[in-house]
Amino acid sequence: MKILGITALLAAMAATPVLAQTQISVATGGTGGVYYPMGGGIAEIINKHVEGYAATAEVTGASVENMGLIATGDADLAIGLADTVQQGYSGTGRFDGQQLPMIRAVGSLYANMIQIATMADSDIMSIDDLKGKRVSVGAPGSGTEVNVRTLLEANGISFDDFDAQRLNFNETADALANGDIDVGFWSVGAPTSSILNLATTNDIRMIGLTAEQAEAADAADPTFAPTVLAGGLYQGVAEDVATLGIPNVLVVSSEMDEDAVYEITKAIFENIAELRAVHPAANETTIEFTLAATPVPLHPGAIRYYEETGATISDDLRP
């Protein structure tokens, strides 16, 4: 066996072509929610199945921040709540005067549920009881904060009516456990780790919405849909809880390469079992859900893949 000297070895290494990889950033949310594991699962699918790309999931402030990261080019893929995505695209609501027309969808992943938790011995039985209380409305720049404001204002309740604290999911759970707040809001897939952990060490109660409260919120924002948080998901919460659902959308910039978006979309759907192994919320990740729940136009690369599967793309989903 011939032993190469160091000079010859370095020359041989230099002569071996090294395929450059394009780095992709996936903007997610905090570690106590579903965005981060879902984003990590998407990144892993890209790393395994899309040649020439290396993806990393990034912890962020979630939906609102993520739309800004797409607009500035500081993230390549991002997850956001449908109402936040739609507001960014149209320059309304939280993005009034800051329209982000470059937002395009890859697909819709799963639906969040507005989950409202308090201690089991709390006197808060309804959102009507929030006045004067200490309330976590979600992290700054999160879709939770946007959802909560819409829900409450549609029902005649303002953030000025209570002590609004802007905490992320893990901080909200810790604050409830420590008695630093009275109630916390989550807009997240169910079950979520921060509430699961809270319920294992504390007696909690989930606050439901009346039909009238849900209808008022849906009238204010049609991306809301009445849904049910199933009993038994969290320890000590045996009964079903009426609430609202909001789709989560995977977005990119309109400037992202069409072939790249096509390959990413194809990889996600053709290896969806790998994403479902990361989090059960991905059981909702289907082409049918995308075509029914996506609030902004799809990227041409995603459209190409969906049309290859035989799907019909409606005019409102075309750029």
The pLDDT tens digits of the residues spanning 221-272 come to 988 988 899 999 999 999 999 999 999 999 999 999 999 999 999 999 999 9
103 lies in the same domain as 118: no
170 lies in the same domain as 280: no
Q: How far is CA 215 from CA 152, 196, 211, 230, 276, in A?
A: 12, 28, 6, 20, 32
Q: What is the pLDDT of residue 2?
A: 46
Distance of alpha carbon 102 from alpha carbon 195, whole angstroms: 35
106 lies in the same domain as 116: no
Return the structure tokens found at 125. Answer: 């039985």
The answer to whether residue 214 sits within a structural domain is yes
Q: What is the pLDDT of residue 3?
A: 47
How many helices and strands, by DSSP H and E, does the chain display? 12, 10
In this predicted model, what pLDDT tens digit does every residue of 190-213 receive, in sequence order? 889 999 999 999 999 999 999 999
What is the mean predicted confidence (pLDDT) over 271-291?
95
Averaged pLDDT score across all residues of the chain: 93
In this predicted model, what pLDDT tens digit does every residue of 240-252 receive, in sequence order? 999 999 999 999 9
CB 251 within 8 A of CB 78: yes
236 lies in the same domain as 120: yes
Strands (E) across the chain are located at: 22-27, 53-58, 77-81, 103-119, 134-136, 163-165, 183-188, 204-206, 225-229, 241-253
167 lies in the same domain as 181: yes
Return the structure tokens found at 73. Answer: 């080019």
* Domain end among 246, 263, 295: 246
92 lies in the same domain as 206: no
- Helix H, strand E, coil C: the string for 245-304 is EEEEEEEEECCCCHHHHHHHHHHHHHCHHHHHHHCHHHHHCCHHHHHHHCCCCECHHHHH
Distance of alpha carbon 251 from alpha carbon 27, whole angstroms: 10
In this predicted model, what pLDDT tens digit does every residue of 132-144 receive, in sequence order? 999 999 999 888 9
The total of structural domains in the chain comes to 2
32 lies in the same domain as 79: yes
The answer to whether residue 138 sits within a structural domain is yes
216 lies in the same domain as 144: yes
Percentage of the chain lying above the pLDDT 70 cut:
94
Let me know if 11 is exposed, middle or buried by CB neighbors in 10 A (0-12, 13-18, 19+).
exposed
Q: What is the pLDDT of residue 9?
A: 46
* Domain end among 246, 270, 289: 246
Residue 95: give its domain's CATH number: 3.40.190.10
CB 139 within 8 A of CB 61: yes
Instruction: Decide the pairing of beta strands 134-136 and 163-165.
Output: parallel
In this predicted model, what pLDDT tens digit does every residue of 13-52 receive, in sequence order? 455 455 579 999 999 999 988 999 999 999 999 999 999 9
Distance of alpha carbon 135 from alpha carbon 98, whole angstroms: 28
Residues of the domain holding 93: 21-110+248-317
143 lies in the same domain as 216: yes
The reported pTM is 0.80
Band of pLDDT at residue 164, cut at 50, 70 and 90: very high
In this predicted model, what pLDDT tens digit does every residue of 113-134 receive, in sequence order? 999 999 999 999 999 999 999 9
177 lies in the same domain as 295: no
What is the mean predicted confidence (pLDDT) over 279-302?
94
CB 184 within 8 A of CB 135: yes
In this structure, the number of other CB atoms found within 10 A of the CB of residue 231 comes to: 12
134 lies in the same domain as 235: yes
The length of the chain in residues reads 319
* Domain end among 213, 246, 279: 246
Q: What is the pLDDT of residue 32?
A: 86
132 lies in the same domain as 235: yes
